[in-house]
């Protein structure tokens, strides 16, 4: 007979849910995980991982086209094999999905393929007719793409799911929303030959990033041939014989654009429906579950982590919350997450990565507290490894508290930005000051030397600028 009573039941098997299950099992709890679709969640199956596989294919394609620059002959005629790219992307996702299933079995986690609803008294009703009981329940149900009334989804209007498995490369494409997801798809489809228009309602693309970095990203995108429109929204749309006709509204000025396909990347909404929250003290605000610093909801014994619990909507934030939530449940010391120490990465070309405050936010903070800041900048044009790689465009920007030397923010734009940002993440977690970073020895020749030079620049000591 299948066990139905556990110490902990996790609802949702994404990077928050499955990590919570593993950590709880490591701490000796009996654990069940309920997942209605695929283990690994959206991130592994339809988000983080398969998009990076496609983007890496685009990187290889770009390298082949530019091979002659590096003294490699015969590769310049490279062309995209879309079917093979998509197949590889799905294979990568499938492999990792099997890996999560193995981890569940290895750690003794009982997995239920079902949907679950809170039934009161520490019980969960599954749609297969079963009822599970647990002292603690973690909701990790994630989020889904926000739909726009002016762009009904269909065969020609896609979310990320359809954009990951196209049957062919559209000749023309509109990407609505220039955050991380929109920027990544714009980069991929431009690399494989589509004419891409990228729009956003805000003043700049990647609006959550430092303004200077966003401006550099826009310049890089436009250099690649991506048409970028800001302060721009979709007023209406209609299907044509072969595509979509869209009316754009750019600060009151309207224009029409006809494209083969549209990708909607205008944010996400939390999966809070059909969880039985209505009969509990769980509060929902703007489609996300309200929690405290230890991921507790208003209902005793019910917790929420990851995208369903609100911003930042990042897989690594979900996994970190999973660990701290479970450790708090187990009575272990747990430290709440400081959002300013969570790195954010956009895997477009070039990549953008950041942690902490933007320069503008840091200046506002300093003005309120009577302090001041120091800003350092170093371009990759002064880095030997970047020049050798042929990737010498980009910037590292650091923001420090002028008096204490605290690292307030760090921002990078470069094809390897996502790998570099962790250096500043470690520094922020260890509360390293500018002096600590200045005294750190960085290997030569490496891209990471730019991290050092930016810190030196903030205090008037840059060596290679």
Q: How far apart are CA 392 and CA 381, in angstroms?
A: 5
The position carrying tokens 């509060």 is 283
Given 69, 102, 439, 444, which residue is catalytic? 444
Helix pair 17-26, 315-329: axis angle to 10 deg: 30
Cis amide leading into 445 (omega within 30)? yes
126: CB partners within 8 A, 6+ apart: 34, 112, 114, 115, 116, 132
Helices (H), 207-303: 211-223
Angstrom CA distances, 266 to 79, 214, 234, stand at: 30, 17, 11
Tally helices (H) and strands (E) across the chain: 13, 24
Q: Which residues are annotated as a binding site for FAD?
A: 52, 307
Q: Which residues are annotated as a binding site?
A: 52, 177-184, 267, 307
Strands 116-120 vs 123-126: parallel, antiparallel or unpaired: antiparallel
Which DSSP helix (H) or strand (E) runs through 55? helix 48-65
- Token output for 200: 């956003």
Strands 227-229 vs 195-199: parallel, antiparallel or unpaired: parallel
Q: How far apart are CA 167 and CA 260, in angstroms?
A: 13
Q: Which residues are annotated as a binding site for NAD(+)?
A: 177-184, 267
Please confirm, yes or no, whether 288 is among the known catalytic residues.
no
Please return the burial class of 175, using the count of CB atoms within 10 Å of its CB with bins 0-12, 13-18 and 19+: buried
Helix pair 449-458, 417-429: axis angle to 10 deg: 60
Please answer whether residues 93 and 50 qualify as being in contact, where contact means their C-beta atoms are separated by less than 8 angstroms. Answer: yes
Residues assigned a catalytic role: 444
């Amino acid at each position: 007979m299948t066990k139905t009573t556990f110490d902990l039941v996790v609802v949702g098997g994404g990077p928050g849910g499955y990590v919570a299950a593993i950590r709880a099992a490591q701490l000796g709890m009996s654990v069940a995980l309920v997942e209605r679709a695929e283990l690994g969640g959206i991130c592994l199956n339809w988000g983080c991982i398969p998009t990076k596989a496609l983007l890496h294919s685009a990187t290889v394609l770009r390298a082949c086209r530019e091979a002659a620059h590096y003294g490699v002959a015969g590769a310049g005629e490279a062309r995209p094999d879309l079917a093979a790219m998509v197949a590889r992307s799905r294979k990568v996702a499938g492999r990792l999905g099997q890996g999560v299933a193995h981890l569940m079995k290895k750690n003794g986690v009982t997995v239920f393929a079902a949907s679950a609803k809170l039934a009161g008294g520490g019980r969960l009703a599954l749609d297969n007719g079963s009822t599970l009981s647990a002292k603690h329940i973690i909701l990790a149900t994630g989020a889904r793409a926000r739909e726009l009334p002016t762009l009904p989804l269909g065969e020609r209007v896609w979310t990320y799911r359809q954009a990951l498995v196209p049957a062919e490369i559209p000749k023309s494409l509109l990407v609505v929303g220039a955050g991380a997801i929109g920027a990544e798809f714009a980069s991929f489809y431009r690399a494989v030959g589509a004419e891409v228009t990228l729009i956003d309602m805000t003043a700049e693309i990647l609006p959550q990033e430092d303004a200077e970095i966003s401006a550099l990203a826009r310049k890089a995108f436009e250099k690649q041939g991506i048409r970028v429109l800001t302060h721009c929204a979709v007023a209406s749309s209609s299907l044509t014989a072969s595509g979509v006709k869209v009316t754009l509204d750019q600060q009151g000025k309207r224009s029409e654009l006809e494209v083969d396909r549209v990708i909607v990347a205008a944010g996400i909404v939390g999966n809070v429906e059909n969880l039985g929250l209505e009969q509990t003290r769980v509060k929902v605000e703007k489609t996300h579950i309200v929690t405290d610093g230890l991921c507790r909801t208003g209902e005793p014994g019910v917790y929420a982590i990851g995208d369903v619990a609100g911003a930042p909507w990042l897989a690594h934030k979900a996994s970190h919350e999973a660990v701290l939530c479970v450790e708090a449940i187990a009575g272990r010391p747990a430290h709440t997450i400081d959002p300013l120490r969570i790195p954010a990465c956009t895997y477009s070309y070039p990549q953008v990565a950041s942690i902490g405050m933007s320069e503008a936010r840091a200046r506002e903070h300093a003005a309120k507290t009577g302090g001041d800041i120091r800003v350092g900048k170093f371009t990759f044009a002064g880095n030997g490894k970047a020049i050798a790689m042929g990737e010498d465009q980009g910037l590292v920007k650091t923001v420090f508290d002028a008096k204490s030397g605290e690292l307030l923010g760090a921002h990078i734009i470069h094809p390897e930005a996502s790998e570099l940002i962790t250096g500043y993440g470690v520094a922020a977690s260890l509360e390293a000051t500018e002096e600590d970073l200045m005294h750190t020895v960085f290997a030569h020749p490496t891209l990471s030397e730019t991290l050092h030079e930016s810190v030196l620049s903030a205090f008037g000591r840059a060596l290679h600028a």
